[in-house]
A = this chain, B = another copy of it.
């Protein structure tokens, strides 16, 4: 039985060409928002993308992709549940879906988080993918470590942060975590960098940390994007719609898409 599971994990992973982890040191910086839009941005470039919500304690990918309460379909041959196809080239698997599916008892039996994360691959039937985007739990604890151990090969990590010195401590931890585990850092996305007043058009830096530049310089890390705190992000998120599609013509979405393109170029170079 265990052998079958390992085989299934291996088979599923063999079908995935590139694997990208989206990490953040602390919660609330927009990590899941970036993971979703990274997936959609890659899909816009014609890639077949899987999006895995591995944020066990605070899964929000189901809400962000509008699949809350949607039951997982079954694979015709194996009878195993499959990720939900939100577009013809995007497949989403969220812990939230697992909880609402009939398989929830099975899935949560293992007390170890490592076991749980392995089950994302052993107990589900993934289609062949060009990219798998994994939305990791915040921090540098057991869960992201288990993600790396399960995936085996990870092409790179995208670190999401906000411009606060308080958040920077955690970015340093994420960077050193990735370095220790020999996961290449694809770059940092600085979210909520500034706000443009819709009344007068003036920019304000709501969060005012300024030490990220030092870290980026020290470590030669790529700053992939500095994103605006655009109220439309909240609107898209609450509707379960991808911002990069629905507000694709905004400068902010273009910056995000260009970050996606840089990630793509790095991974496939």
Contacts and interface: CB of A to CB of B under 8 A. Distances in A.
Given A169-B63, A237-B166, A231 B202 contact: no
A109 interface: no
Counted per complex, copies of this chain come to: 2
Interface stretch (A24-32, A120-128, A178-186, A248-256): A24-32
B204 A202 contact: no
Chain A interface mostly helix, strand, loop or mixed? loop
Nearest to A169: B63
> In which size bucket is the chain A interface?
35 or more
Contact of A139 (B25, B58, B198): B58
Interface string A70-97: 0000000000000000000000000000
Interface stretch (A9-17, A41-49, A206-214): A206-214
A165 B238 CA distance: 6
A130 interface: no
A28 B159 CA distance: 16
A111 to B, nearest CB: 12
A219 interface: no
A184 to B, nearest CB: 25
Nearest to A211: B238
Contacts of A231: 204-208
A38 interface: no
Contacts of A165: 238
A197 B198 CA distance: 9
26 contacts: A26-B28, A26-B58, A27-B28, A27-B58, A28-B28, A57-B138, A58-B138, A58-B139, A63-B169, A64-B166, A164-B234, A164-B238, A165-B238, A166-B237, A166-B238, A195-B195, A197-B199, A197-B200, A200-B200, A200-B202, A205-B231, A207-B234, A208-B234, A208-B235, A208-B238, A209-B234
4 residue pairs, one from A and one from B, having the closest CB atoms: A28-B28, A27-B27, A199-B202, A200-B200
Interface of A: 25-29, 57-58, 60, 63-64, 138-139, 141, 164-166, 169-170, 195, 197-200, 202, 204-209, 229, 231, 234-235, 237-238
